[in-house]
Amino acid sequence: MLRHTFATHTLASLEDLKHAGKFRGSPLVTLMRLLGHDSITTTSRYTHLLDAIDDVYGTRYQAEIDALAKSYLDAGA
């Protein structure tokens, strides 16, 4: 429960910082590294939790998840 709470709030906060121009990079990749995941698909499960907070966040990440998953597969990770 604590891990899900941390992930959800961190992802939402990073997204807010990105839109305020105070964060560069991918909030999803940053969260993946913070949680110690090897695969973006593992981290992507936390994006569905954002749907309950705001529909914009959850749907915004699907294209990024798909692109990152493809790049990891292409790199042989």
Q: 3-state secondary structure string, 17-34?
A: HHHCCCCCCCHHHHHHHH
Please state whether the predicted TM-score (pTM) of the whole model is above 0.85.
no
Query: Per-residue pLDDT tens for 52-72?
Result: 555 555 556 667 767 776 776
**12, 21, 22, 23 from 45: Cα distances, Å:** 14, 26, 25, 22
**What pLDDT was estimated at residue 37?**
92
pLDDT, average across residues 16-26: 86
Categorize the per-residue pLDDT at 14 as very low, low, confident or very high, splitting at 50, 70 and 90.
Answer: confident
pLDDT, average across residues 41-53: 71
Average pLDDT, the chain: 77
